[in-house]
Amino acid sequence: MPGISASGLKTQIRSYTEVSSTVLSDSVLENIILNAQYRIFRDAPIDADRKVETGNLTSGTNTLAVPAGALVVRSVQVYTATGSTFTGANTYLEKRDITFLEEYISANTSTGTPKYYAMLDTGATGAAADTSGSIIMAPTPSATFAYKLHYNKVPDLLEGNGVNYISMNFPNGLLYCCLAETYGFLKGPADMLQLYEQKYRQEMQKFGGEQLGRRRRDDYTDGEPRIPVPQQTP
């Protein structure tokens, strides 16, 4: 099986650093691995974290709760149909700053099909939080329009002896990031920290190119990537 599990990653970190579990205990490594994962998913948006929430807006209510675990709202799509009917005319709302929405709402009290949206708040905090905040729309919905909310969720984290997308598809980058974090925790040697930091950045450049480049391209619409080959003069 490709990739690496959480327990396998701990074993590799101890093996690479030649430091035993007396210093690098499970609890210490779990924190290091957690920090590395948060760094990775903020360094490169991952396609596997792209999700879509569907539902119906509430007539007369201009706010909408963002799904639990949402990290970034990418777009909001509103259909003129109602009753969770995702066919026919639809539009993507234009994102604006909250100050724009407040000014717009104060000057336009009529309802209709929403055209703009803004992030309203960050929601509750802690393990019991059931949303990641909410958005505000204008104009206020005049009917229960169907909607699709496109967002990036916080990735599933590597725990226990499990695996996740990063550990299965970016194991070398995860290992190098963990080793850089580990040598920072051990306070040296500085050259080893720099080595694994450099290795991580090199692998992240490739991974980022895959996630933001190759996975977002299409040969039909974008054309096949071509690398110019220099001509040699005889």
Tokens of 106: 């104060």
> What pLDDT is stored for residue 155 in this prediction?
84
Strand order in the sheet with 90-92: 50-56, 145-153, 70-82, 90-92
Q: What share of the chain is helix, strand, coil (3-state, %, to 5)?
A: 40, 25, 35
Among residues 179, 152, 153, the alpha carbon closest in space to that of 4 is found at 179
> What pLDDT is stored for residue 85 in this prediction?
76
8 A C-beta contact, residue 81 and residue 146: yes
What is the end-to-end Cα distance of the chain in Å, rounded?
A: 50
pLDDT lower than 70: segments of the chain = 1, 122-131, 220, 225-227, 232-234
Rounded Cα distance between 77 and 104, Å, is 20
This prediction has a pTM of 0.78
CA 182 to chain centre: 24
